[in-house]
Amino acid sequence: MFKRSFILIVLALALLLSACATPTPAAAPPAAPAAPANPVLRMSTTTSVNDSGLMAYLQPVFEADTGYKLEITSAGSGAAIEKGRTGDADILLVHSKAAEEEFTGEGFDEVRIPFMTNYFIVVGPEADPAGVKTAKTAAEAFKKIADASAPFITRGDKSGTNTKELAIWKAAGVDPEGQAWYTNIGAGMGQALTVASEQQAYTLSDKATFLAAKTDLALLLETADDMLNTYSVIAVGPKRFADTNAEGAKAFIDWLATDKARDMIAKFGVEQYGQALFYNMDK
């Protein structure tokens, strides 16, 4: 009897494994151009371009146009850039200027290419107890939040948004660290918005993630001069890692500059949210 059960288990396992062994690809790439020598391009992105759905929207078109296969991992910009340092990404798509310049300044002939922007926004409870709506700049808004001791959620994860937030506090002349109303959650943008919504707190967000996430927070301040959010691509240099996929990274950067890609970026989100989420920069 044991033998028969054993055979049953082995058969069931074999069936399951064979069923799992060949996962169906999402869609067969339609007659791709001459396949590149190294078709896998490892991209490390910030969470906002991935969670907003921008990469999922661009990826199939880029893959069909060039024959490359994108493998995207996303994390806060700090962690995303770190993957370039450890050799676990061929190209970075991030939004944290100071951290990017630190990376490209490490002597491997890497170039930071800013290509699109949008605005950081201040979001918070609909009632707006701190009166952020009347502020002209982000620094002024943050000063009002501090003066009102209104609850504020910080991501505290060295992401581009977190870095920007700390710079705004500095410009506002406020040191929020250790204040009772300042909560550090050490998490991504989506989760920060969820926590802010639950606690009716303020937070700094990128616009794309805010529109894509479902919360009951209100958009209180945007398009102030000190809230421009610039996204860049950086190809990890062959001087840093000899086996990095430099051709693939170049192919992606070239593709981003095509009218087709720029048109796609400009249209992204317009249908769903009634407004663009990202804006192309002048070539």
Scan residues 143-182 and list those touching another protein (CB under 8 A): none
Q: Do residues 64 and 30 touch, judged by C-beta distance below 8 A?
A: yes
Q: Which is nearer to another protein, 138 or 193 (CB)?
A: 193
Among 37, 126, 180, 214, binds another protein (CB under 8 A): 214
With CB under 8 A as the contact rule, the residue among 91, 123, 153, 193 that binds another protein is 193
Output the smallest distance, CB 51 to another protein, in A.
5
* Least distance (Å) between residue 232 CB and another protein: 21
Nearer residue to another protein within complex by CB, 184 or 215: 215
Asked whether position 61 contacts another protein by CB under 8 A, the answer is no
In the complex, least distance from residue 248 CB atom to another protein, rounded to whole angstroms: 15
Stretches 94-102, 131-139, 168-176, 209-217: which one binds another protein (CB under 8 A)? 209-217
Question: Cβ closer to another protein: 195 or 265?
Answer: 195
Q: Which of 11, 16, 98, 228 touches another protein by CB under 8 A?
A: 16
Binding residue for another protein, selected from 2, 37, 178, 225, defined by CB under 8 A: 2
User: End-to-end alpha-carbon separation of the chain, Å?
Assistant: 74
Please, which of residues 79-138 interact with another protein by CB under 8 A? 85-88
Piece of 65-73, 118-126, 175-183, 263-271 that binds another protein (CB under 8 A): 65-73
**Is residue 34 near another protein by the rule CB under 8 A?**
no
DSSP string, the chain: -HHHHHHHHHHHHHHHHHHHHSPPPSSPPSS-SS--SS-EEEEEEEHHHHHTTHHHHHHHHHHHHH--EEEEEEE-HHHHHHHHHTT--SEEEE--HHHHHHHHTTSS---EEEEEEEEEEEEE-TT-TT-GGG-SSHHHHHHHHHHTT--EEE--S--HHHHHHHHHHHHHT---TT-TTEEE----HHHHHHHHHHHT-BEEEEHHHHHHS--S-EEEE---GGGEEEEEEEEPPTTT-TTS-HHHHHHHHHHHTSHHHHHHHHHTTHHHHSS-S-EEPP-
Q: Counting contacts by CB under 8 A, is residue 73 touching another protein?
A: yes
Contact positions toward another protein, by CB under 8 A? 1-2, 5, 8-9, 12-13, 16-17, 19-21, 23-26, 42, 51, 56, 71-74, 85-88, 187-188, 190-191, 193-194, 209, 212-215, 241
